[in-house]
Amino acid sequence: MKDDQLAAREPVATSEKVLERIGHSILSGEFEPGERLTETDLAQRFGVSRSPLREALLRLEERQLIERVPFSGMRVVSLDDRTVDELYEIRGALEGLACRRAAAVITPEQIAELRGVLAQRSRALKSTRGDARQQPTIQDFHILIARISGNRELERMLAGDIWHYMRAQYRRWARARERMDLGHAEHLRIVDALEARDGELAEILMRRHIVASRQELVDAKARAEARGAA
Amino acid sequence: MKDDQLAAREPVATSEKVLERIGHSILSGEFEPGERLTETDLAQRFGVSRSPLREALLRLEERQLIERVPFSGMRVVSLDDRTVDELYEIRGALEGLACRRAAAVITPEQIAELRGVLAQRSRALKSTRGDARQQPTIQDFHILIARISGNRELERMLAGDIWHYMRAQYRRWARARERMDLGHAEHLRIVDALEARDGELAEILMRRHIVASRQELVDAKARAEARGAA
DNA sequence: TTAAGTCAGATTGTACACAATCATGGAGTC
DNA sequence: GACTCCATGATTGTGTACAATCTGACTTAA
């Protein structure tokens, strides 16, 4: 069962199904960033009419996964370095807030749950030899903190597609696993701070963690470009 | 000219025009929160077909201004107290970030611009006798800081409709002007901090300012309910 | 050679008809 | 009397045809 909560009913309408499919195609990299899309092609490709397809595309546009220009065409969003920087900065502020609030209300059971997620992720990391594409619990840790904070709007915001998309572009370059181990240590320290009910510290640690993640992305991209063409 | 920047082209498509109209109707309170809407009625009302109307409604749903349930109906979102609390908390974190970053890069010209906005608002406040509905520059101050911060995604986020809608519900109760004067003083202190390039202080002041605004909303609503039916 | 103008092709935007689904009310039964 | 079932109306979801708009190439003239 996937719907963790809040009655996420299975999609019955065609538009919902095609929305999930296209969204997944973008997030998984099946559609390249910047790739041009046409309604007719997509409709044929997915075997649906243009009407439900359009609905899906409009939603994706509102979620900033595709860009459209009237009467002209549409394309998959390509996040440039500046935008990724900006998004990471926003994410740091939001997750910092989540940590601060979570520290005030967290229960022992929830602490155990957080540690469980980290342990599961650590195991999965070893078994798959660091293949980042098969980590189902990476962002679960962050989302879980947001949920513990009790701020549903914050949780909803941090669960948005744009963040997944941002991370997806990261996976393209990051084959190295050093960062993963470092990240794991940082995660543990965040949980420690939450357990100590030190909201201020937890917020600072989370902000640093996100800054470090962003820095690793920059470095990984630089290395990749140095290998590729320079 | 309204398009401040970024080539906000005038809408040519019917769906864009009807989107603006419905959005304005919701934000202005012409459509009550919780009011039920039907596609057929709205289509007749605005003299358009259901197709462009549906596009507008889908966008509004993604922006959390209306709620839809498949095959059943749709209604204008009604923000309950808890949600407003959560949104204010998020807004505080985001605007705090904007202040922190703006302090690092602000120019004397931009400081003057901020003071200009405050002065204009102060004048408007006197001339219209504190009628909150005719304040075109209230949120301009906040958006301007976000713009100065240089984080375009942050600016886009803080310019979202949901925040306008949240404030709109506030205007319903707030006729008193004490809060406006207090808010004015707080705004001035924020600008002072920005001018001193004290990002940390600016962030703290902005967070407090938003907490105070939220508190005033709670009090105003309590007073209104006490007057009305209690 | 370059520039503007125009025309065709492609693509999106809109309208309308029909199908799928849901909610409400009443009839029937236990 | 309360409950279940079913039919009917209302509402949204989908398919298809057509109109509006844009892009790019080709022509033509300076």
Do B172 and B153 belong to one domain?
Answer: yes
| Chain B residues close to A154, C-beta within 8 Å | 86, 89-90
> Considering A76, A95, A115, which residue would you say is the last residue of a domain?
A76
pLDDT of residue A122: 83
Residue A4 falls within a domain, yes or no?
Answer: no
> Considering B60, B76, B92, which residue would you say is the last residue of a domain?
B76
Partner-chain residue, chosen from A58, A87, A97, that has the shortest CB–CB distance to B55: A58
Banded pLDDT at B217 (limits 50, 70, 90): confident
Q: What is the mean pLDDT of residues B84-113?
A: 97
- Residue A198 (CA) to nucleotide C27 (C1'), in angstroms, measures 65
Check CB contact under 8 Å for A93 and B89. Answer: no
Residue B110 falls within a domain, yes or no?
Answer: yes
Protein residues bordering strand D (Cβ below 7 A): A 13-15, 48-52, 55, 69-72; B 12, 37-40, 50-51, 54, 68, 70-74
**Partners of B36 in the β-ladder:** B75
Residue A219 falls within a domain, yes or no?
Answer: yes
Q: What is the mean pLDDT of residues B170-180?
A: 64
Residue B149 falls within a domain, yes or no?
Answer: yes
Does B105 contact chain A (CB < 8 Å)?
A: no
pLDDT of residue B227: 76
Do B58 and B168 belong to one domain?
Answer: no
Distances (CA, A) of B15 to A152, B95, B200: 31, 32, 44
Secondary structure, 3-state, B151-177: CHHHHHHHCCHHHHHHHHHHHHHCCCC
Do A86 and A100 belong to one domain?
Answer: yes
Residue B2 falls within a domain, yes or no?
Answer: no
Banded pLDDT at A182 (limits 50, 70, 90): confident
Mean pLDDT of chain A: 87
Banded pLDDT at A175 (limits 50, 70, 90): low
| Contact flag, residue A10 CB and nucleic strand C, below 7 A | no
Chain A nearest-CA distance from B127, in A, is 38
Residue B224 has pLDDT above 70, yes or no: yes
Cα B66 from Cα B39, distance rounded (Å): 13
pLDDT of residue A216: 84
Chain B nearest-CA distance from A201, in A, is 16
Banded pLDDT at A41 (limits 50, 70, 90): very high
**Hey, is A214 helix, strand or coil?**
helix
Which residues, other chains included, contact A125 with Cβ-Cβ below 8 Å and sequence gap of 6+?
A135, A177, A180, A184
- % pLDDT > 90, chain B: 65
Cα A116 from Cα A102, distance rounded (Å): 17
Exposure string for B80-107, b = 16+ CB within 10 A, e = fewer? eeebbbbbbbbbbbbbbbbbbbbbeebe
Cα B16 from Cα B53, distance rounded (Å): 9
Q: What is the mean pLDDT of residues A99-103?
A: 97
The nucleotide closest to A72 (CA, C1' atoms): D22
Residue B131 has pLDDT above 80, yes or no: no
pLDDT of residue A135: 56
Which residues, other chains included, contact A67 with Cβ-Cβ below 8 Å and sequence gap of 6+?
A61, A74, A75, A77
Residue B37 has pLDDT above 90, yes or no: yes
pLDDT of residue B5: 31
Q: Where are the alpha helices (DSSP H) in A136-198?
A: 138-149, 152-158, 161-171, 178-195
Do A149 and A201 belong to one domain?
Answer: yes
pLDDT of residue B51: 95
- % pLDDT > 70, chain A: 84
Partner-chain residue, chosen from B13, B58, B93, that has the shortest CB–CB distance to A59: B58
> Considering A54, A76, A98, which residue would you say is the last residue of a domain?
A76
Residue B4 has pLDDT above 50, yes or no: no
Residue B13 has pLDDT above 80, yes or no: yes
**Better-predicted residue by pLDDT, B89 or A120:** B89
Taking CA–CA distances from A50, the nearest residue in chain B reads B51
Residue B152 has pLDDT above 80, yes or no: yes
Banded pLDDT at A7 (limits 50, 70, 90): very low
pLDDT of residue B122: 83
Cα A21 from Cα A53, distance rounded (Å): 11
Cβ–Cβ under 8 Å, residues A146 and A155: yes
pLDDT of residue B225: 80
**Partners of A37 in the β-ladder:** A74
Residue B86 has pLDDT above 80, yes or no: yes
Q: Which range marks the domain in which residue B39 is found?
A: 14-76
What tens digit of pLDDT does each residue of B117-130 get?
A: 999 888 876 765 55
Instruction: Report the CATH number at residue B133.
Output: 1.20.120.530
Q: For chain B, list the strands marked E by DSSP.
A: 36-37, 66-69, 73-76
Do A110 and A62 belong to one domain?
Answer: no
Do B114 and B205 belong to one domain?
Answer: yes
> How many structural domains does chain A have?
2
Do B135 and B191 belong to one domain?
Answer: yes
Do B91 and B67 belong to one domain?
Answer: no
Check CB contact under 8 Å for A101 and B94. Answer: no
Which residues, other chains included, contact B11 with Cβ-Cβ below 8 Å and sequence gap of 6+?
B17, B19, B20
**Better-predicted residue by pLDDT, B66 or A177:** B66
Do A72 and A158 belong to one domain?
Answer: no
Residue A9 falls within a domain, yes or no?
Answer: no
Do A45 and A23 belong to one domain?
Answer: yes
**Better-predicted residue by pLDDT, B62 or A131:** B62
pLDDT of residue B1: 32
- % pLDDT > 90, chain A: 66
Chain A nearest-CA distance from B129, in A, is 36
Mean pLDDT is lowest, of A143-157, B2-16, B136-150, for B2-16
Q: C-alpha A143: how far from its chain's center?
A: 9
pLDDT of residue B6: 34
Residue B139 has pLDDT above 90, yes or no: no
Q: What is the mean pLDDT of residues A73-101?
A: 95
pLDDT of residue B135: 56
Cα A156 from Cα A80, distance rounded (Å): 24
Q: What is the mean pLDDT of residues A1-25?
A: 71
Instruction: Report the CATH number at residue B34.
Output: 1.10.10.10
Residue A3 falls within a domain, yes or no?
Answer: no
Residue B171 has pLDDT above 90, yes or no: no
Do A187 and A130 belong to one domain?
Answer: yes
Mean pLDDT of chain B: 86
pLDDT of residue B77: 94
Do B117 and B162 belong to one domain?
Answer: yes
Residue B51 falls within a domain, yes or no?
Answer: yes
